[in-house]
């Protein structure tokens, strides 16, 4: 057991040929990446139904949608999109949280995962990186579609999707940020960007 921990410590100390990823690399990537003006997925301008109003949703990767709380609660719209999984990255009551749970989606048979995350610099979102990645992968790898939300679909939800792309699709953090930002205006807080940079360094060392 002792040698296992020594080996693991050595892995975390491996020199990265291109240097360490930092939150500032990711901030700069966000700043330099322009978001495309794509139409809202599934939106039909000829439909005047109330459930087609106030939609905020973008497909950021095949089968992965990021949106806000209002859209996440719009079950008719989720059915139109063919959503099979929903990850609420802001589960809870009160300001800054979205008060849905698995019972909310029970009637449309959507698989649900809720993470009780506050959008604060000090929040440890990294402890959910692999949980979120596994859940998203469960949807995408089986031909399903996943909707990932927080309040406005910019920070907590985006961070979970970025972690998925890094862990499951082996993307570098800067490439994942560039891809998602191109498809949706995202802005993870600086604390989340720091944790994504740390994840990037860990994954890069494991793949050396």
Active site residues: 150
Instruction: At 58, list the tokens.
Output: 């973008």
Tell me if residue 188 falls in helix, strand or coil. Answer: coil
Residue the block writes with tokens 């497909």:
59
DSSP label of 127: G
Cα separations (Å) of 151 from 14, 18, 122, 148?
38, 36, 18, 10
| Alpha helices in 90-172, H assignment, sequence order | 129-140, 156-168
Contacts of 2 (CB under 8 A, 6+ apart): none
Question: Closest Cα partner for 67 from 170, 145, 12, 171?
Answer: 145
Chain-centroid distance, C-alpha 83? 15
């Amino acid at each position: 057991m002792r040698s296992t921990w020594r080996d693991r410590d050595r892995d975390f100390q491996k020199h990265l040929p291109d240097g360490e990823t930092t939150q500032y690399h990711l901030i700069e990537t966000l700043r330099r990446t322009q978001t495309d003006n794509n139409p809202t997925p599934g939106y039909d301008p000829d439909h005047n139904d109330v459930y087609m109003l106030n939609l905020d949703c973008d497909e950021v990767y095949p089968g992965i949608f990021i949106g806000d709380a209002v859209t996440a609660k719009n079950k008719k719209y989720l059915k139109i999109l063919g959503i099979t999984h929903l990850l609420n990255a802001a589960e809870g009551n009160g300001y800054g949280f979205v008060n849905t749970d698995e019972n909310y989606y029970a009637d449309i048979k959507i698989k649900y995962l809720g993470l009780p995350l506050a959008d604060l610099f000090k929040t440890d979102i990294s402890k959910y990186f692999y949980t979120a990645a596994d859940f998203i992968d469960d949807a995408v790898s089986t031909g399903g579609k996943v909707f990932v939300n927080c309040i406005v679909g910019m920070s907590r939800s985006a961070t979970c999707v970025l972690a998925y792309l890094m862990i499951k699709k082996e993307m570098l953090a800067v490439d994942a940020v560039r891809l998602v930002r191109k498809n949706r205006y995202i802005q993870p807080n600086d604390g989340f960007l720091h944790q994504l940079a740390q994840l990037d360094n860990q994954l890069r060392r494991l793949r050396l």
